[in-house]
């Protein structure tokens, strides 16, 4: 009952495209969260939507699903128990934070359980000044599963969510989206990002001693300097711990709305230093050349980095093509890049 995909040649990096008609993800796929599981299989949770999903929500989110692989390169969709084969979808209770759309942003496996941190939006339409957007006040939620397919939501204190939006005037007043959680030595760190109408995309941090009650620490990362790849800010990110250092792979956006990926490093996970990369504007992994007609010539983003046994890294990411004018008219597909050995500052696309 699953759908196996063979990607055509001459598209370096490309590993997953939208599903066939009738699947939950037949219009778009986005934001891979990949684990090389203890049993040797690879699992990828990601979000997307079909053409009938609520068009008032101008975001790439919708529902979440699962694909599996024996090698992390060739993927097969799992036909999940929910709508059109999905494994997590908006909550039926209209009062909850995640009743209109959801997206997965982090999955990890510990003590026999899969933990999914996801985010969602409610039914409210918010006028941000430039446009009216439904479901934009996104908040983080958490769900657990024994098999990665059947999920149970945990109940957070803010209409089901674990953080609330900031007060008017605070940096994260609009939304707290795309959570990623690190758990070590009895403390939890939740990284998330927001969009500030004047400052751009900003990353925030919340901490917890139990994983359920969170305290915000404030903004920890923001826009780069003029002409940098992240001049308009920093969005999705993936933080890893390696040799007593924290490494953050993050998506930045420039003033022309082209997205690339960069790196920041920290000793404590709180104070971060951006590391200049060798790609355009200081990125470590750039969108394909403008005008190349490649599938990822406008954006590479939502990095998910998996350490390999040989010391190298794999980076799963989404790419967007040129020609679209907003989130729903550009095509999103999922790709894979590989580091230059143990050097996580240099990458090439799979098959390149």
Are 297 and 289 in contact by the 8 Å Cβ rule? The answer is yes
- 22: which DSSP letter? T
CA-to-CA dists, residue 3 to 89, 234, 333, angstroms: 20, 34, 16
Mean pLDDT, rounded, for 273-290: 95
The full set of domains in the chain, from first to last, is 17-166 (2.115.10.20)
> Is 296 a residue whose pLDDT tops 80?
yes
Are 205 and 270 in contact by the 8 Å Cβ rule? The answer is yes
* 192-214 per-position pLDDT tens digit: 999 998 999 999 999 999 988 99
* 70-106 per-position pLDDT tens digit: 999 999 999 999 999 999 999 999 999 999 999 999 9
* 238-254 per-position pLDDT tens digit: 999 998 999 999 999 99
**pLDDT computed for residue 4 by the predictor:** 65
The continuous run of DSSP H or E covering 35 comes out as strand 28-36
CA-to-CA dists, residue 170 to 2, 119, 166, 197, 216, angstroms: 45, 20, 6, 11, 12
Are 100 and 91 in contact by the 8 Å Cβ rule? The answer is no
Mean pLDDT, rounded, for 172-182: 97
Closest by alpha carbon to 299, among 313, 319, 273, 271? 319
**Could you tell me the pTM of the whole model?**
0.95
d(CA 282, CA 280): 6
Are 253 and 244 in contact by the 8 Å Cβ rule? The answer is no
Q: Which two tokens stand for residue 143?
A: 């769900």
């Amino acid at each position: 009952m699953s759908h196996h995909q063979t990607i055509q040649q001459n598209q370096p990096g490309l590993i997953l495209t939208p599903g066939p008609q009738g699947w939950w993800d037949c219009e778009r796929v986005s934001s891979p969260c990949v684990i090389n599981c203890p049993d040797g299989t690879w699992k990828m949770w990601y979000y997307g939507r079909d053409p009938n999903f609520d068009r008032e929500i101008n975001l790439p989110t919708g529902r979440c699903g699962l694909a599996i692989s024996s090698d992390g390169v060739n993927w097969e969709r799992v036909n999940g128990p929910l709508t059109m084969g999905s494994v997590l979808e908006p909550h039926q209770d209209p009062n909850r934070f995640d009743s209109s759309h959801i997206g997965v942003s982090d999955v990890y496996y510990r003590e026999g359980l899969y933990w999914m941190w996801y985010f969602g939006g409610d039914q409210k339409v918010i006028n941000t000044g430039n446009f009216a957007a439904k479901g934009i006040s996104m908040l983080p939620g958490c769900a657990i599963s024994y098999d990665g397919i059947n999920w149970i939501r945990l109940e957070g204190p803010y209409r089901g969510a674990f953080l609330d939006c900031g007060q008017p005037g605070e940096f994260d007043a609009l939304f707290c989206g795309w959570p990623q959680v690190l758990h070590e030595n009895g403390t939890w760190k939740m990284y998330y990002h927001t969009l500030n109408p004047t400052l751009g995309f900003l990353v925030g941090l919340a901490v917890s001693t139990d994983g359920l009650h969170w305290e915000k620490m404030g903004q920890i990362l923001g826009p780069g300097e003029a002409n940098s790849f992240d001049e308009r800010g920093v969005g999705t990110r993936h933080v890893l711990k390696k040799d007593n250092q924290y490494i953050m792979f993050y998506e930045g956006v420039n003033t022309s709305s082209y997205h690339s990926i960069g790196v920041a490093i920290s000793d404590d996970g709180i104070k971060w230093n951006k590391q200049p990369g060798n790609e355009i504007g200081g990125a470590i992994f750039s969108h394909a050349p403008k005008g190349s007609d490649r599938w990822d010539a406008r954006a590479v983003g939502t990095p998910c980095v998996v350490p390999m046994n040989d010391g190298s890294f794999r980076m799963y990411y989404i790419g967007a093509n040129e020609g679209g004018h907003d989130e729903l008219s550009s095509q999103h597909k999922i790709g894979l890049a590989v580091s230059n050995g143990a050097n996580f500052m240099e990458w090439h696309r799979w098959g390149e």
